[in-house]
Amino acid sequence: MFEYEYFEGGAIDQAYSDLRSRNEPIVEITQTKGTSETHPALSPNDEWAGFEIMPYRVSTSILSEPPGSYVRDAFRRGLEIEAGGVSNPYKLGVIGSSDTHVAAGSFDEENYWGASGLMQLTAEQRGSVPGEPAAGADLQNPTAAAQPIDDGTGRIYPFTTAITNGASGLAAVWADENTREAIFDAFRRKETFATSGTRMKVRFFGGSALAGLDLDDPDLVATAYETGVPMGGDLVGDDGDGAPSFLVWAMQDTMAAPLQRVQIVKGWEAGGETDEMVYDVACSDGLEVDPDTHRCPDNGATVDLSDCSASDDVGAGELKTVWTDPDFDSGQRAFYYARVLENPTCRWSSWDALRAGIAPRQDFPATIQERAWSSPIWYTP
């Protein structure tokens, strides 16, 4: 999706960047066929990089290639392309979608019914509980396509990529009013965010004048608009300028799990190379970020897989902070976006297993942390 060259060869040029920027202001960072923020192979220092990854190309058992296939990688590639003298073709806002093709979203982990109607109607069809091997399957040749899977416990599951599907996602916009025109304008200016299915709300602003904001000011959002730029915006600075600050404000979906932490993901370019860093910036339960590791302590939230009950005595209804980049270099191109994590809850496949009276599959995560991602704010020297 995010190449350095044209399909037929030749480096991306200004004509390509202009065309793509005009026609593709936003990108889908999550949907039922997997989350496309990043991949452990691309972000080995991000403990949350492996969230709801679909490893296969659609409708096949062929493995995908991570480089060029994930949104954070696209943001980094865009900085490289811009450093080479062509404007950034991957300056993208983010949304989530369902992509279920059944005119309805299946966003609730407890009540997930699959992405393809009758083709995934049962837990056996979804691959979350054992079932009969596919007709003609060769039990002695597990490398062949469409072979049954043993999760390590001796239970046999039909091969299906449906098990990699997620109960995701939602597109969210900050629009001036609830009209088609206002919502489309929000998409165009990239004032959008995505969630993995729950209805969190996320505000994200950047600017050098935000450092002194009063977080309890009832006019906080109006002030942030006046003195900074919202998600999807651009900051332009001069060499020697001080570090920008970022206001991030996340609010829990009251029908979902409490919030655990808020993070800011930064990527930057120097000398034609890019790098990235994940900073925890707000912790639940009065915990504080470790200045050396940039991580919140564990808040102790747990999930009981015997009944999928989750901790209800830890976590936050909202998290709000102003963060200033401690590693800022005014001469480096950079992007920043917010990521919000809920406390862990049962994945849909664990709910299926619970109803079937068995333990969840051992080769897939039993729990997930629902999350939200803001569109980035870009800094350009």
Domain boundaries, given as residue ranges, for the chain: 14-102+165-380
What is the number of other CB atoms lying within 10 angstroms of the CB of residue 282? 26
Put the strands of the sheet holding 245-251 in their side by side order: 229-230, 201-207, 245-251, 318-324
Give pLDDT tens digits along the chain (381 positions): 899 999 999 999 999 999 999 999 999 999 999 999 999 999 999 999 999 999 888 777 788 899 999 999 999 999 999 999 999 999 999 999 988 877 676 789 999 988 888 888 899 999 999 987 555 444 445 444 557 788 888 898 888 888 999 998 999 999 999 999 999 999 999 999 999 999 999 999 999 999 989 999 999 999 999 999 999 999 999 877 899 999 999 999 999 999 999 999 999 999 999 999 999 999 999 999 999 999 999 999 999 999 999 998 999 999 999 999 999 999 999 999 999 999 999 999 999 999 999 999 999 999 999 999 999 999 999
Query: Could you tell me the CA-to-CA distances from 22 to 36, 91, 101, 298 in Å, in that order?
Result: 22, 11, 27, 43
Residue 14's SS3 state is helix
Task: State the Cα–Cα distance between residues 34 and 175, nearest whole angstrom.
Answer: 27
* Torsion angle of the four alpha carbons 52, 70, 19, 58, in this order, in degrees rounded to the nearest 10: -60
- DSSP letters spanning 314-344: SSBSEEEEEEE-TT--TTS-EEEEEEEEEPP
Task: State the Cα–Cα distance between residues 186 and 147, nearest whole angstrom.
Answer: 46
What is the number of other CB atoms lying within 10 angstroms of the CB of residue 216? 7
Q: Which helix (H) or strand (E) holds 109?
A: none
What pLDDT sits at residue 16? 95
- Judge contact between 135 and 172, C-beta under 8 A: no
Task: State the Cα–Cα distance between residues 6 and 89, nearest whole angstrom.
Answer: 12
Residue 150's SS3 state is strand
